[in-house]
Structures are given as structure tokens and as C-alpha cells.
Chain A
Amino acid sequence: MATKKSAPLGVGCDIGTMNIVSARRTEDGSIETSRMRDAFLDLDSGAKRMLKLSGVNFIDHGDDGIIVVGDAAMEMANVFGREARRPLSQGLISAGEMDALDVLGVMIKNVLGEPQAVGEVCYFSVPASPVDADRDVIYHRGIFERIVSECGFEPIAGNEAMAIIYAETAADGFSGLGISFGSGMVNLALAVSGVEGLCFSVARGGDWIDAGAAKATGSTQSRMCAMKEQGVDLLAPVGREQEALVLYYKALVEYCIDQTAREFAKIKDRFSLPRAIPIVVSGGTSLALNFLPFFEQVFEKKRKKFPFDISEIRHASDPLNAVARGLLIQAMQEHEED
């Protein structure tokens, strides 16, 4: 295949529980991001005509029915009083979810688009193994390597939280604690001068908040998710449901801070931090109103016992796309080094 455009080669693709996001450079020098909601809903074939008229994304399986994908799947799930299916659960794909594989294949192909050249590198995100769940990322990584490869790209797996370090801490010499608050899990990476010192994940995230708050208030997880996405002020919650959400947000942040201290204790003898480093928070779950001051409040209570010095806590410049951008930087490097 000949080169079609003069844009720099390389693509970054963040494959998350809630969204699939790709980032690439365009020929005019800007960064183009493409996003699709990582959800689907199977419907009878009778709904096909209605969906065609409404312009909704769906995959036609003939007499076997249709599969609505993306944001529309979430919206229609609410309409039909059903739960949208999610190809990933707690950040990882489950072995045996064969329906989900086909859907993921279509979604990733559309989000990535066509490669610009033979062997164009695509860095895709892989979470670190969770410290609190007996799951590994080997199958997950293998599946997405295959999908990205079948989309025509040269696949390279990159750690999700390290991508935040690459995207957001250049001014700090690629030193910092990157935290990706995702839907299925939270990924954390500690790096000094670009050297990865600690990488782990916890199997709790936005979905855990929704499920906990729903259980506490007798509501549904979908309703909690919708309420969260409409905007909850973490410093001034209104009503019982929002208060429940804030309670679970606080528990999640505390849990992440505690787990970081615990994991750091395991490496402190062989990893030194010469100076204070920043914490960079990112991810869809961090988009709640006043998340940053809320995080700072929770952190301040634990700062004395935190095992290393923190210079500042800041939000990623583009929390939904930070991981994809960090992966894009790494993908571009691959082509520059050729």
C-alpha cells in the first residue's frame, strides 16, 4: 500500500471499558481523536427499519437480529428498559465472550480507520494486572493484538497509565504518578525520568461507584451512570443519590491512595525518588465536577502517611483522550526511529 497522506505515521488507541478512543496526527498538524462508546445491544431484526431512519449505528446479522453499537446502545437500553452489554468488564475482556469479539472488531476498525502505510504502528492500551483481583491481562492483550493486526496495523501494547506519563509530564522530565480513573478499573503508574517504577491497577472504577451507589439507594446502575455523566458536583451533592455517589467516589480515591502506598512499600528499597513528583489524574471517571479539589481534599488527609513527596496534583489537559495521546507519542517515536 502506498502512502496516502503526508501526515506523521502512528496511531494511539485507548481501549477502555466505557470508550474506545484513537488519536492520530493529521496532515495539517492537528490531532484528530475518534471515539466510540464501548457498548452494544442486540435487538430483533424488526427494529432495523426504524434504526435506519434514525441513523443509529448497528451491525446487521440478518435473520439473527441486529446489534446496536456505541452511544445509541446505551440510549436504547434505557428506552427498552434493558442493560446495554459491555464487551469489557472491569477493564478486561472475558474469555468466551465471542459475541463481544465481533463487535469489538467492527468498532476498533471504525475508530482506527485505514492505515496510512504498510506497517503503520498502532500503540494500544493494556491495563496493568489488578492487585485486588485474580485476573491477568494476557488473553486481553492477545485479543487486541490480533484485532489491531487484522485492521492492518503493526500492533504494540502500551501500559495505560504510563501513556498518561508520556502525554502529561514532559515538563517534569517524564516523572510523576499517572492515575487513569476508568470505568472498569483504575490504572496507576509511577515513573521517574521515563523509567517505570511501579505499574498496577485496581479492579474498581466508575462502574464500581455506580453499582455501589445504586445498591445503597435502591436505584439502578444505568440511572446512576446517567446521573454521573450529567454532572455531579463532588463538593456539593444534591439529594440522596448524589450523596451516595460522592461517598463511593471518596472510597475509591482513598482506596487508590492506600494501594499506591502499599505497592510502593514493596519497591522502596530499589527505587529512589530524588525529588517531589506530580500526580496527574485522568480518565472519564475524573470528569465529575470538582473532582480535582475533591481528590486534593482526600489526599491531604493521607499526605503524612504517603510514602513519597508530591509536588502538585493536576488534571490531564484532556482527560478523555490523554491515554490515546500518550500512546500516539509512543507510536510516532517508532516511526521516527526507523
Chain B
Amino acid sequence: MRVDADNPTHVQDLGITVGPGPVWIDTEDFKRSTCLQALIRLGKVRVSSSPRCRMPKDPPKPKIHTVAMSRPSKVPRGHVTHHKTEVIKHGIDPEQAQEMVSKAAAAAAAQAVAAMTAQFKAMMERPASPASGMDGIEQVVEQAVVQALKAVQIGDHARVPSAGRGISAGRDIVVNGPEDPLFIPTGIVRDDSESLTVHSASSGDAGGLDDAASALKALRKKKS
């Protein structure tokens, strides 16, 4: 029960002082306290039988993950950013990503085939070329595929989801476009360039070089 008073009033048989704030006592204490009954009759204290209200606890505060930052954050403290929602809004769905990748792969394959065809034709016309043979073919294929893959563009910023985890858990893969073109000037060496004196020396130690060349040849044969 709620007991209230305007001025501090001591209740002798309960051993409590009431007022000016409310004091809560049991109903049994209320019934057995003759002092309290007398004070009520005198109008010194007021009693109300409304049940003690349950004050809810403070709601749990959101956890703010603090990290060491090199510069002050522009985001106010306690502001919660919902990254996942952002990703879902701006990402592309797996079907779209798959379609883009398929298109890019088809373009790369077509480009590689075209490049290889031209180079094989050139090799056939130059049978004595040092680039012919298996090494030459491997080199042509490798270069064509690498060039084709470099030239292919999937998108400025494709978001590829990892399998079974959905878009929000996907890994961001930045797919850059083709590299900047590389300018290699021509005509660096002129036909009429000056004749300069160079330091030349002759070494009779060609045996070691021949041995090394033979050993390397044998090693390569063994491997092939």
C-alpha cells in the first residue's frame, strides 16, 4: 500500500518515517498499525491501495562497436548503419551476375580464337621461325588467352555472391576494365645512327658455356 504525507511523520509502531515521498507497506502492516490508523484519522498521512506499479527496466542499449580510428568519424556515436540493407538495395541478383560472366567468357573465348588463328597462320608462313614448335604454340595460346581475358569487361563493379550465402554475404569482386593502353614508340633505332666504340673482350672459356648449353638441352629433352 502506498503511504504518503506532506511533512515527515514518524510511525512509531512500524518504525518508519513517511513523507514527503511515498512509502510502500504491506496490507498486514497497515491493518496492525494503530499509530498509522490514528495518523490517517488526523489527516497527517494519506493511504492509497493502488498496487505498486512495476517500473520497467531501461531498454537494452544498442552495442556500439568501437574501433581504433585514425580520424574522427563523421557518423554520430550510437548511429547504427545497416550495411546488409544497403547491399540488397544496390547489389545485383545472382542470375544477372551469372549472365554477365557468361557473356564475358564467350567474348574472351571468341577473341582468343581469333588472335590464335591469325598467329598460327603467320607461323605456318614462317616455318623457320624460332617461335615455331611446341614452345611457340604454347606461347601463342597463352598470350592470346591472357590478352583476351584482360580485354574482357564484366562490369565496373560486379558483386558476385558466394554460393549458398545470398547476396548480403557475398564477396565484393572489383572487376577492372581493360588496362590503360601502353604506348611503345616506333623508330627508336635509326638506320643512320652513329657508330660508337664499345669495349669488347674475347674469352676463350667457351667450353663452360658449351657444357652448360648441352646440359640445359639435355634437361629440357628429359622434361619433354
Contact = CB atoms under 8 A, between A and B. Distances in A.
Given A105-B190, A121-B130, A335-B130, A30 B217 contact: no
Contact of A142 (B184, B199, B211): B184
B212 A329 contact: yes
Interface string A142-159: 110111001100101000
Max count, chain A CB within 10 A of own CB: residue among B182, B194, B195, B202 = B194
Contacts of B60: none
Contacts, number: 141
Contacts of B187: 150
A106 B212 contact: no
Contacts of B62: none
A31 B184 contact: no
B193 A106 contact: yes
Interface in A112-147: 119, 121, 138-139, 142-143, 145-147
Contacts of A292: none
A105 B190 CA distance: 8
B222 to A, nearest CB: 9
A29 B206 contact: yes
Contact of A328 (B184, B199, B209, B215): B209
A330 B135 CA distance: 13
Given A106-B196, A142-B182, A33 B130 contact: no
Interface in A170-196: 170, 173-174, 193-194
Contact of A105 (B132, B189, B205, B215): B189
Contact of B216 (A25, A26, A154, A166): A166
Contacts of B129: 119, 154
Nearest to B203: A31
A139 B132 CA distance: 26
B213 interface: yes
B56 interface: no
Max count, chain A CB within 10 A of own CB: residue among B130, B132, B205 = B130
B78 interface: no
Max count, chain B CB within 10 A of own CB: residue among A60, A154, A325 = A325
Interface in A85-123: 98, 101-102, 104-111, 119, 121
21 contacts: A25-B209, A30-B204, A31-B205, A35-B198, A36-B198, A36-B199, A98-B185, A105-B188, A107-B196, A110-B195, A138-B182, A139-B182, A145-B184, A146-B188, A151-B189, A167-B212, A173-B215, A318-B203, A328-B209, A329-B209, A334-B130
